[in-house]
């Protein structure tokens, strides 16, 4: 209990901004001139510029998805977005060197404190570029690489290029193509064979500018027998205009490796969060996504694992909370491509007011495989009569030597249960937050302590005013 009292969570903690001071600004709209501007500023190699322009052509050809979230996506005006903004392109290794307004932003979000307390390294991105990047000497001496993707492209092309765009092809979807055209920032991590990083590495993505799109590109490679935990946090101030966040995350777990990827997002309600995340798990490798989605106007995110090697295991644990005017369209994808692979999906959603949550999942096991197993559980909690939830599982199991099970439930918070707790001195909001936190408790226990406590308090704040 003592740890709880040391962590304070403020619903408005991310809702602030500083006056913009951008040395580099690509302007609004997307064209080949935008690509040339970004590549020139970054001093990129010719192959990267060519990669971007091919991706731009793919993006322009692909239509917006038409089978879901059509109304919300139609409100994205790509010609009004600013695709690259940066004040100082040089990443700092000390907080003292970070510009004052940027440093104050991350201090208010508690990032330097978290680095001192329990992290092995931190990457902090402000708009389009990394403002700060550091890794502890003890971890660096193990041969671990942790830096921004822009820096990695320059310093370690032999590692980066081998896997870049291989897990998520440019043409995977319209927004992966958009990211491939204008990507900037994000994390690159390489863990050498047999190295087990004992403390998490963290990245924090901050949007400060209005009418802006953030397009970080993250690539994590865990070599044979290695282990790493990576955490990311996301915030942005509230604007009257739309903000776009469209990231691509590729994970590669080589034989016997383990990657745990934890996300706690608390975007403001004007952010369109359209993210593609996928992992490749080789023989006996383990990939675990822990995904918490609070905030944003629309989130479309379906972390996936391609179980390429025999004995590989994939897991997605997700929590989504949709409040008034929000749509959390989340889920998971598990593609079994080798014998004796296993996958587990547990998704919990809470819909408040007129909020809408959607689970969208895919599990595939070909006929040629044997010994594959999947468990999928989708549980939804409705807080009000006006809230909504939908479940769209697509499970394809072929052959007679593979096993899958699926369970889904939708429930309302019991008025009897609320009444019972109120009779023992709890307020409406306290009783509601206790019920909701109990609903997600088995998942929040798998978060690191600091994040588990913060998540529970964020849920408490979201529950205020939900009953009455």
Q: Which residue has the higher pLDDT, 53 or 21?
A: 53
Least confident of 78-82, 406-410, 431-435: 431-435
pLDDT computed for residue 86 by the predictor: 86
Prediction pTM value: 0.89
Strand blocks (E) in 15-115: 24-25, 85-86
In sequence order, the β-bridge partners of residue 73 are: none
* 277 three-state secondary structure: strand
Mark residue 325 as left, alpha or beta (left: phi above 0; alpha: psi -120 to 50; beta: remaining): left
Select the highest-mean-pLDDT range: 6-15, 292-301, 443-452: 292-301
In this structure, what DSSP letter does residue 237 have? -
Rounded distance, CA 187 to CA 230, Å?
10
Rounded distance, CA 174 to CA 448, Å?
34
pLDDT at 16 over 80: no
CB 383 within 8 A of CB 353: yes
Tokens of 266: 């608390």
pLDDT computed for residue 334 by the predictor: 98
pLDDT at 246 over 80: yes
pLDDT at 71 over 80: no
pLDDT computed for residue 3 by the predictor: 36
Rounded distance, CA 461 to CA 468, Å?
15
Band the pLDDT of 426: cuts 50, 70, 90. Answer: confident
pLDDT computed for residue 120 by the predictor: 75
Least confident of 147-156, 292-301, 366-375, 412-421: 412-421
H/E run at residue 187? strand 187-191
The 3-state secondary structure of 335-363, one letter per residue: EECCCCCEEEEEEEEEECCCCEEEEEEEE
Tokens of 361: 């999942």
Least confident of 85-89, 348-352, 374-378: 85-89
Least confident of 153-167, 260-274, 412-426: 412-426
Residue pLDDT, tens place only, 140-166: 899 999 998 988 988 999 999 999 999
Rounded distance, CA 135 to CA 115, Å?
9
Strand blocks (E) in 323-434: 327-336, 342-351, 356-365, 373-382, 388-397, 403-412
CB 327 within 8 A of CB 356: yes
Rounded distance, CA 313 to CA 284, Å?
7
| Residue 36 CB coordination number (10 Å) | 14
Band the pLDDT of 451: cuts 50, 70, 90. Answer: low
Rounded distance, CA 326 to CA 329, Å?
10
Rounded distance, CA 436 to CA 430, Å?
10
* Four-residue CA torsion sign, 168, 71, 467, 360: negative
User: If we measure between CA atoms, which residue out of 304, 292, 303, 299 comes closest to residue 357?
Assistant: 299
Rounded distance, CA 231 to CA 263, Å?
6
User: If we measure between CA atoms, which residue out of 102, 106, 114 comes closest to residue 13?
Assistant: 106
96: Cα within 13 Å, side-chain hemisphere:
0
The share of the chain scoring above pLDDT 70, in percent, equals 84
User: If we measure between CA atoms, which residue out of 233, 327, 230 comes closest to residue 274?
Assistant: 327
Gyration radius of the chain over CA positions: 22
pLDDT computed for residue 284 by the predictor: 98
For 240, 314, 359, the CA distances from 405, given in Å and listed in that order, are 44, 15, 16
CB 167 within 8 A of CB 278: yes
Taking residues 168-197, report their average pLDDT.
Answer: 96
pLDDT at 6 over 80: no
For 49, 73, 271, the CA distances from 68, given in Å and listed in that order, are 33, 9, 18
In sequence order, the β-bridge partners of residue 327 are: 298, 356
Band the pLDDT of 208: cuts 50, 70, 90. Answer: confident
Taking residues 288-292, report their average pLDDT.
Answer: 94
Mean pLDDT for the chain overall: 86
pLDDT computed for residue 357 by the predictor: 94
CB 259 within 8 A of CB 230: yes
In sequence order, the 6+-apart residues with CB closer than 8 A to the CB of 253 are 222, 259, 279, 280, 281, 282, 285, 286, 287, 312
Residue pLDDT, tens place only, 185-198: 999 999 999 999 98
pLDDT computed for residue 2 by the predictor: 35
Q: 151 φ, ψ to 5°?
A: -65, -40
For 172, 195, 413, the CA distances from 385, given in Å and listed in that order, are 37, 51, 11
pLDDT at 95 over 80: no
Q: Which residue has the higher pLDDT, 268 or 216?
A: 216
Q: Which residue has the higher pLDDT, 79 or 23?
A: 79
Taking residues 200-205, report their average pLDDT.
Answer: 87
User: If we measure between CA atoms, which residue out of 294, 467, 299 comes closest to residue 387?
Assistant: 467
pLDDT at 309 over 90: yes
Rounded distance, CA 273 to CA 276, Å?
10
CB 102 within 8 A of CB 126: yes
pLDDT computed for residue 421 by the predictor: 84
- Residue spans of the domains in the chain: they are 13-415, 416-468
């Amino acid at each position: 209990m003592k740890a709880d009292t040391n962590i304070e969570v403020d619903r408005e903690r991310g809702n602030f901004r500083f006056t913009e001071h951008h040395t580099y600004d690509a302007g609004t709209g997307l064209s080949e001139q935008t690509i040339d501007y970004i590549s020139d500023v970054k001093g990129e190699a010719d192959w990267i510029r060519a990669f971007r322009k091919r991706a731009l052509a793919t993006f322009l050809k692909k239509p917006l998805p038409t089978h879901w979230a059509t109304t919300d996506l139609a409100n994205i005006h790509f010609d009004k977005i600013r695709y690259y903004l940066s004040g100082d392109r040089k990443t700092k290794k000390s907080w003292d060197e970070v510009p004052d307004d940027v440093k104050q932003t991350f201090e208010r979000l508690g990032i330097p404190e978290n680095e001192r307390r329990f992290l092995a390294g931190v990457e902090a991105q402000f708009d389009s570029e990394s403002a700060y990047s550091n890794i502890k000497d003890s971890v660096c001496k193990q041969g671990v690489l942790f830096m921004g993707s822009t820096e990695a492209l320059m310093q370690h092309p032999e590692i980066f290029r081998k896997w870049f765009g291989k897990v998520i092809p440019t043409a995977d979807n319209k927004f992966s193509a958009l990211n491939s055209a204008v990507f900037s920032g994000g994390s690159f991590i390489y863990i050498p064979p047999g190295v087990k990083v004992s403390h998490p590495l963290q990245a924090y993505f901050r949007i400060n500018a209005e009418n802006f799109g953030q397009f970080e590109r993250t690539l994590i490679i865990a070599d044979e027998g290695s282990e790493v935990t990576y955490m990311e946090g996301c915030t942005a101030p509230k604007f009257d205009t739309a903000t776009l966040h469209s990231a691509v995350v590729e994970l590669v777990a080589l034989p016997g490796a383990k990657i745990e990827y934890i996300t706690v997002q608390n975007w403001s309600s004007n952010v369109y969060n359209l993210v593609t995340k996928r992992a490749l798990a080789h023989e006996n490798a383990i990939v675990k996504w822990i995904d918490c989605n609070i905030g944003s106007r629309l989130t479309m995110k379906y972390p996936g694992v391609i179980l390429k090697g025999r004995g590989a295991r994939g897991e997605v644990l997700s929590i989504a909370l949709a409040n008034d005017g929000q749509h959390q369209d989340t889920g998971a994808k598990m593609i079994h491509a080798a014998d004796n692979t296993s996958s587990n999906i547990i998704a919990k959603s809470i819909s408040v007011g007129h909020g809408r949550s959607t689970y969208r999942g895919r599990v595939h096991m070909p006929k040629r495989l044997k010994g594959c197993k999947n468990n999928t559980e989708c549980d939804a909690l409705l807080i009000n009569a006006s809230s909504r939830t939908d479940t769209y599982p697509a499970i394809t199991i072929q052959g007679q030597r593979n096993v899958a099970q699926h369970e889904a439930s939708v429930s309302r918070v019991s008025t009897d249960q609320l009444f019972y707790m109120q009779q023992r001195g709890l307020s409406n909001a306290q009783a509601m937050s206790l019920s909701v936190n109990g609903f997600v408790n088995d998942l929040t226990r798998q978060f690191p302590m600091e994040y588990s406590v913060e998540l529970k308090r964020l849920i408490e704040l979201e529950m205020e005013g939900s009953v009455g």
